[in-house]
A = this chain, B = another copy of it.
């Protein structure tokens, strides 16, 4: 069970965009340089975050990416699911209805208890990630971090 490597990228890129001045944007190339990441693949992933509403993309000479809504309204879950999708890692293929031990369909109207427990665990994981917003993450950073991030992103330091 593995999340894409780009999950780390997008969590960090969103955290970085949350530190820019209001209205400011960063291009995929700038973000790629900032973290030394492959720009084309990062750009594709940033677009996935735009589709999910976590980021917004503006076009034009000063265009780029910025948060799609306030940092307090963007959760880690939304970022992770924009990258990886929201499917549960557990796949129930109803093997209880096949083979010599097959149960009858009328005995399988309720979800299998094993599938239900796996779904509960996935919900526990989702709830945990939904409980942290980008604003919460920013609150844990040193007070000097946003200023440093902006300077480094602009390439002026």
> Are B37 and A99 neighbours in the complex by a CB distance under 8 Å?
yes
**Is A51 part of the binding interface, using a Cβ–Cβ cutoff of 8 Å?**
no
> Are B153 and A93 neighbours in the complex by a CB distance under 8 Å?
no
> Are B9 and A95 neighbours in the complex by a CB distance under 8 Å?
yes
**Is A41 part of the binding interface, using a Cβ–Cβ cutoff of 8 Å?**
no
Set of chain B residues within 8 Å of A153, measured between Cβ atoms: 100-101
> Are A12 and B76 neighbours in the complex by a CB distance under 8 Å?
no
Q: Which residues of A contact B (CB under 8 A)?
A: 1-3, 5, 7-9, 11-12, 15-16, 32-37, 76, 80, 84, 87, 89-93, 95-96, 98-102, 113-115, 117-118, 120-122, 124-129, 132, 137, 140-141, 149, 152-153, 155
